[in-house]
Amino acid sequence: MGSMWWGEEAAKGAKIAVWWDMKECPIPEGYDAGRIRPSLEAAFKERGYSGPVSSITAYGDQTQTPVHILHGLLSTGVSVAHTSSESTNYILYRDIVEWRGQNPPPATMMIISNQVVGDLSWDLARLQQRSQYNLFLAYSKAPCVLSVLSTSSRWLWEKLLGDNNNNNNNNNRIETRSVQYKLSAMILCCKSCNFDCQSPEKFRKHLSSYKHARQESVYPTYKEVNRVTETWGRNYAAAPEYATAKILVWWNMFDCPIPEGYDARRVRPSLEEAFKKLGYSGPVSITAYGDLNHTPEHLLRGLSSTGVSLAHTILDVTYKRMYSDLLDGQKSNPTPTNIMVISDTDTHQAFSTPLVRLVQKQKHNLFLAYSSRPYKMFVLLPSAEWLWHSLLEVSEKRKHVLQKCSSESESDRGGESSAMLYCKVCCGGQGPDYKSLDNLRTHLSSEEHAHEVKKSQNIKHIRKAFRTGFLLLLDNHLRRRRARKSQSCRRRGSRRRAQKSPTVW
Ligand SMILES: [Zn+2]
Ligand SMILES: [Zn+2]
């Protein structure tokens, strides 16, 4: 699962902190609470993580938790936090955010809960894109959808506890370790009252007191976690490690076409100029995906002469090819790499899960451009984002500077020769580089190509391939797109009809 994660080695010896929702993942009936910590530690060691487990905190409504369980947890170095049931997720996440602020990576965070979904996973995935920790997850029910969070290890709660069920050696380990934990600051804490102590009896007494009941009744209930990344800004100056790193651009020309009357030779310099403004000066490689048979010759010449690679696709195939090139092609692009995706907002939204996982896994720096402003915030956390049209206009304002730029880059790259030319419809997208526009043209008008186009337009044939989560996303996206298209056709049709119908009043 996590064999490729960039920070795994650094995290292996680093500290581990654990947040545990006791309601979602309870201690099994008859299970010795003193064995929780050793079970976790054994599981971490087994996966190669030997850093100290610096904190384990158990969250939940503790009013019914028996004293012997509190004893068992506390004596083995597990802190206990009382929260009203409804606010548990909110408080647990608030503590995680606070901990991250005080404990820079490398470190491992483990969350034991079934509630690492929705706003919590959205916000944590965004935090992870900015400042990445190694992530462990345990749950009593495996989530049914692919998470936006990239984790290096996952466990089923029961399995995690049961692994050393019949192992007597563990008892010895608890004995020796408990001495050490008593010295550290393991506490019992009531989050409603901000009360803490180290005596289970005192803690239980507090939870059954009038003072606590009164406080709990006035303490506000927070059902939703606080999305701390919601107010973050859009464009950031380049971090040093990415400033001179290469920039790989995937451009969907169906979603973001070249505007009418725009000189295609200015696309590359516009992008380069926008990158430079933010402090990025690495080499830029751009691949444009589009229907080249329906793209005017002068645009194709303009793009390829400025070193923009061209990939011929047809609408339905575009998403599949572009995203699989993007997702699969990453093995050859080690960190640090900047990647940019140019597409419309819906497409970004539809493929955000695989992309956000890729960004976390590879620690890529992400740029986005879109045809219209997103109506809701992406789970993707780009370092920079642009409206497609305003990105192209960058060069409009500084034409003379850019003319110099682009003529320089042309001579640098030797013109067309550096642009690659692909047909992504044939050969499962793995076809050769045709080297010149004329060669590609010859291919696109060949019998063999026409046959492949027919094949890929046959939806039944494509459906057969929908097995993985990615292809499912693709399927949904295409279905929504087709629905939208037919809707707008109907709208246009009815408008036309409405215009034709004579006015009666
Ligand atoms: Zn209290
Ligand atoms: Zn072809």
Q: 3-state class of 122 per DSSP?
A: helix
317 CA distance to ligand 1 centroid (A)? 59
pLDDT exceeds 80 at position 503: no
Pairwise CA distance, residues 48 & 25, whole Å = 24
Q: What is the pLDDT of residue 361?
A: 85
> Is 337 found in the same domain as 209?
no
Element of type H or E holding 270 = helix 267-277
Q: What is the pLDDT of residue 403?
A: 47
Query: Residue 2 domain-assigned?
Result: no
> Is 287 found in the same domain as 140?
no
pLDDT exceeds 50 at position 174: no
Query: Residue 486 domain-assigned?
Result: no
Q: What is the pLDDT of residue 21?
A: 97
Per residue in 353-364, pLDDT (tens digit) is 989 988 888 889
209 CA distance to ligand 1 centroid (A)? 8
Which numbered ligand comes closest to the C-alpha of 189?
1
What's the DSSP call for residue 254?
T
417: number of Cβ within 10 Å: 12
Which numbered ligand comes closest to the C-alpha of 209?
1
> Is 177 found in the same domain as 325?
no
Residues with CB under 5 A from ligand 2 (ion): 423, 425-426, 449
Say which CATH number the domain at 98 has: 3.40.50.1010
How many structural domains comprise the chain? 2
> Is 182 found in the same domain as 122?
yes
Per residue in 289-337, pLDDT (tens digit) is 999 999 999 999 999 999 999 999 988 788 888 988 888 777 677 778 9
> Is 188 found in the same domain as 111?
yes
Question: What is the mean predicted confidence (pLDDT) over 408-425?
Answer: 65
> Is 438 found in the same domain as 307?
yes
Question: What is the mean predicted confidence (pLDDT) over 45-72?
Answer: 94
> Is 415 found in the same domain as 288?
yes
Among residues 110, 156, 160, 113, the alpha carbon closest in space to that of 133 is found at: 110
Which numbered ligand comes closest to the C-alpha of 62?
1
Element of type H or E holding 75 = helix 67-75
Residue at which a domain ends, from 437, 457, 477: 457
Query: Residue 118 domain-assigned?
Result: yes
Which numbered ligand comes closest to the C-alpha of 456?
2
Q: What is the pLDDT of residue 350?
A: 87
Pairwise CA distance, residues 6 & 10, whole Å = 9
Provide φ and ψ at 342, rounded to 5°: -115, 115
313 CA distance to ligand 2 centroid (A)? 8
Query: Residue 43 domain-assigned?
Result: yes
442 CA distance to ligand 1 centroid (A)? 77
Q: Which domain holds residue 36?
A: 8-218
Query: Residue 234 domain-assigned?
Result: no
Say which CATH number the domain at 278 has: 3.40.50
- Written as one string, the DSSP assignment of 140-157 is SS--SS--SS--SEEEEH
Reported as half-sphere exposure (CB side, CA atoms, 13 A), residue 421 has a value of 20
Pairwise CA distance, residues 255 & 232, whole Å = 27
> Is 309 found in the same domain as 171?
no
> Is 268 found in the same domain as 210?
no
> Is 271 found in the same domain as 208?
no
Q: Are 345 and 458 spatial neighbours (Cβ–Cβ below 8 Å)?
A: no
Which numbered ligand comes closest to the C-alpha of 429?
2
The more confident residue out of 10 and 494 is: 10
> Is 246 found in the same domain as 213?
no
Query: Residue 290 domain-assigned?
Result: yes
Give the residues across from 421 on adjacent strands: 310
Which numbered ligand comes closest to the C-alpha of 293?
2
Question: What is the mean predicted confidence (pLDDT) over 72-82?
Answer: 94
Query: Residue 212 domain-assigned?
Result: yes
Query: Residue 302 domain-assigned?
Result: yes
Q: How far is CA 207 from the centre of its chain?
A: 40
Helix (H), strand (E), coil (C) string for 441-466: HHHHCCHHHHHHHHHHHCHHHHHCCC
Which numbered ligand comes closest to the C-alpha of 202?
1
Per residue in 246-284, pLDDT (tens digit) is 999 999 999 999 999 999 999 999 999 999 999 999 999
As a whole-number percent, the residues of the chain with pLDDT over 90 amount to 60
> Is 437 found in the same domain as 308?
yes
174 CA distance to ligand 1 centroid (A)? 30
Strands 365-370, 384-387: pairing is parallel
